[in-house]
Every structure is written in structure tokens, then in C-alpha cells.
Amino acid sequence: MEIKVISGDITETKVDAVIVNLFEGVEHPGGATGAVDQALGGIIGQLIGEGEIKGKLNEITLIHTIGKMEAERVVVVGLGKQEKFTYDSVRGVMAVACRFLRKVGAKRVATIIHGAGAGGMDMERAVQALTEGSILGLYTFRKHVTKEPEHGEIEEMIVVDRDESKLPLLERGINRGSVLAEATNYARDMTNEPANYMTPSDLAEAARSVAAERGLGFDVLEREDMEKLGMGALLGVAQGSKQPPKFIVMSYRGGDSTATPLGFIGKGITFDSGGISIKPSEGMDEMKGDMAGGAAVIAAMRAIAELKPKINVTGLVPATENLPGGAALKPGDVLRAMNGKTIEVANTDAEGRLILADAICYARKLGLAPLVDVATLTGACLVALGDICTGALGNDQELVAKVIKAGDEAGEKIWQLPMYEEYKEQNKSEVADVKNTGGRYAGAITAAQFLAEFSEDTPWVHLDIAGPSFIKKEQTYLIKGATGVAVRTLVNVALALAEEQPK
């Protein structure tokens, strides 16, 4: 879908449909909605009076113009209570409105900027959110479906504003929103792929293509390279699969050549059976999505390359399958990580932290700082926070606060969990330096404490996306299946830290 902005009057825009809005409790529409109401002979006001239009959040009312306007249809979308309306609400209402119009066959759609009038929002941020919501809300994954879709796609979205002087500002917002949303959809595509189409090698090739198209540095460490580096934890997980492991390295250089690069690390388990500690069969098909953190890092690097912030960023994705083959890791085995620490494998289904341990060690070897890792790490975090919220843990409170703020700006909810020293007791091993699971209680926290053994004194934040990475029910601009969570958060972190770089 092409999105562009024009200066003009929404009532005179010749399209299949226009989208206007109404806050809850408004009895007499004003602004652009009022102008549309007037053009339609007061029908919107009449429907408000009759109680058919209430303005409740994401409420959709379709009105056929019958030749009274250039547009064939008008959609009035409810914005809810004005005091609760946010930039994330903008994303949601656009997603709902666009999906509705796609179903009725609209190809060209025009919209006003929701929240920028009576809502008092910053116009550039509002149009960015509008763009994100439209693109994210129309996402589909039909690569392996041979049946023709029931409806076509919206081909063009026109953002209409009367003030011509604001067009450059609005174009910036549309550009950033498009880059972020399309990168998120790219992560969704990778995560939704069946595991036989998204092996570690396939994931590496996807990253290679992104790097080639966007001018990023790229390298892949093969098994032999990992052996030389002493990545015993990652190789231990990989030994049960016939698919060779890959360690993906992507680099963006937008800052001073001497500046320390920011490091992003994404868990890339392309299928997780649990290994010898095998998972129940119910729901195991969803374990193709255990590389959602790796997909988020690859997609974030793609967006960063397009937005070109003045910062250096390196993305690392350790990628492997976790399968119960004849050579597979066994409960009770001891592995040696890249930094020399030994790990007792109490449970082979706690494999994500093993591959991240070596990735964090490698990030420190490269001198990356600060570090943010993203992983579908623990079922415990899903139990604690559901599929609404990401868990954040780290060793640097200022960095944690920045990551949470970056998520809030992206509409991605993040909740900080504690890292009290007492939780380390649960990870103590009698046969090695540390064991890979702390047991049933506080599982998200003990997993993060395990990772802290390897991040050591490097500023680091861990994002456990086990809950929001994959959803079973549509939520405004989040479509059933992979959500692409953390892509926009990571990009926002890079953009915010770029602003802090010495000029």
C-alpha cells in the first residue's frame, strides 16, 4: 500500500472511502468530521442523536454518500474518551478502519489525521502512528495458501490536511512510520514461516539479503568458527539437529568510527522441541516462533539502515534448532561457555539462555555496549504477564528505563521484573559453575540471572517476549500469529541513544 499526504479538503477528495472520527460524548461534530457531516446533509449528527454513533473506541459506522461527496463512502471511527486517547489509539483505530474498508472492497482511501485536532497531538507523531497502524493492521501471511483471498487489498492511502506548509513534516512522519511498520511485518513473516522453511541457514540467508539490500555489514560464523571461539553452550544445543547452527552478525555504522557500537542480541531457535526434555505435543507447532527475538533483531537492523541514525549498531543472532536427535544434549550434561564458565544442563528445554550466553560473551569480545537481548525465553514470563506485556530485566536501571520508554513510544508494553541477588541461589549447581534452570518459581527472573553471569559488568537489558511474540486473537493492529514485537522498541532505543551521541 502506498501512503502519501496531500493538502486539500477531505470532502473534495475523490476516493473509494474517507475516514473521519468522533470522540465519545461529542454531540456536534467539528473540524473535518463536521465538514463531512455538512456535505452529507447532517447525517452524522443525526446518527449521533439517534444513538447509532457513540464514538466508542474502534467503533465503525459506514455511510454511503450517494453522490453528495466525491468519495463513495464515509467511515466514522470512534476515538473513545478524549482523555484516554493516545498515539497507540491512533494505530488501533486505523488498523480497524482499514481492515473494514478492505472487506468492503475499497482500493483508494483518504483519511484525516486522528488526534491532531481536538486531541492536541503532535502532528508528525500522529501521522507516524496512523501509518504504522494502517500497515500493521492490514498484514496477512498467505505465502503457503493456494486459495485466492476473499477480497483485494487497499492500494493507496491519502492523508489529507488543509495546511500545505505542514506537508514536509507529515511526509517525515509517514516515512518513519512506513519503515518501522514494514520492518515489523518482515519480522512477522520470518516468525510465521514453518520451521522447514526457516532453518538456521534460511534465517542467515534472510539476514544476508537484508544486509545486501540496505548496505549493512554482514558475517556468519559457522560451526568451525564457533568451535574455535569456544562456544560450547550454543554448540551443545545444536548437536541434536542435522541442521548446522549459524551465528549471524549484522553491523550498521552511522556514528563516529571510534564510538562503541550498541549491541542487539536475538534468540534464534528456529524450532524448539524441548530436546530430550521434550515439550508436550499440544501447541508444539507454535515453537517455530522461538526465533522471534532473532527476527526482531534482523528487522530492527533493516529499519535502522533505512532511518540512518548517527550511531553504530551491531546485531547478533545465534541460530539453531533444539531437537532430541541421537547426539542431543542430555539432562545432567555439563557445557563450557565462551567465557570459560561451566553450565550444568538441568533441563534441555532451557536452551535459549544457553545460546544467548555465548552470544553475550561474543558481544563483549566485540566490545559492544550497552547490550539489549530479545528472546522468547520463558513460559514463566507468559504466566506472569500474559500476551500483553514484555518482561524487562537488567543490570543498569538507567538503561532499563530508556528501553521501557522506547517501548512505550512504540505502543509495546514492557514491565520491569526484579533482579534481587537472592534469586541467584536457585541457579547454583553442585557439579558446575551454574545450572541452566532455577526451578519452577520465578522462572523469568532466574533465567535473567543466568544471563547476568555472562553480561557481567556490561550495561545490559533482557527482554523476555515469550508472551506478546505470538497471539491467538486479533488485537487492533496485532494480527493473529506472530506480532513482530520488539522491532520498533529496538529501533527507538537506537534512535534515542543516537540523540545522546556527542555532536
Q: Would you name the residues annotated as active-site residues?
A: 279, 353
Q: Could you give the CA distance from residue 301 to residue 434 in angstroms, rounded to a whole number?
A: 33
148 — phi, psi (to 5°)?
Answer: -65, 145
4 — phi, psi (to 5°)?
Answer: -140, 165
For residue 475, the 8-state DSSP code is B
Euclidean distance between the first and final Cα of the chain, in Å? 37
For residue 248, the 8-state DSSP code is E
Residue tagged 509495546 (cell numbers):
412
Please list the alpha-helical segments (H only) found in 215-326: 223-229, 232-238, 292-307
Q: Could you give the CA distance from residue 45 to residue 29 in angstroms, rounded to a whole number?
A: 7
How is residue 325 written as a grid cell?
536427535
Report, in this order, helix, strand and coil percent for the chain, each rounded to 5: 40, 20, 40
Angle, helix 123-137 to helix 87-103, in steps of 10 degrees: 40
For residue 231, the 8-state DSSP code is -
Q: Could you give the CA distance from residue 466 to residue 449 in angstroms, rounded to a whole number?
A: 17
How is residue 201 written as a grid cell?
541457514
Residue tagged 502519501 (cell numbers):
4
Q: Which residues pair with 247 in a beta bridge?
A: 221, 318
Q: Could you give the CA distance from residue 373 to residue 251 in angstroms, rounded to a whole number?
A: 16
Q: Could you give the CA distance from residue 356 to residue 261 in angstroms, rounded to a whole number?
A: 18
Nearest by Cα to 304 from 255, 364, 361, 365: 255
Q: Could you give the CA distance from residue 59 to residue 93 in angstroms, rounded to a whole number?
A: 8
Q: Could you give the CA distance from residue 17 to residue 63 in angstroms, rounded to a whole number?
A: 10
Report the C-alpha dihedral over residues 268, 273, 377, 227, rounded to 10 degrees. -50
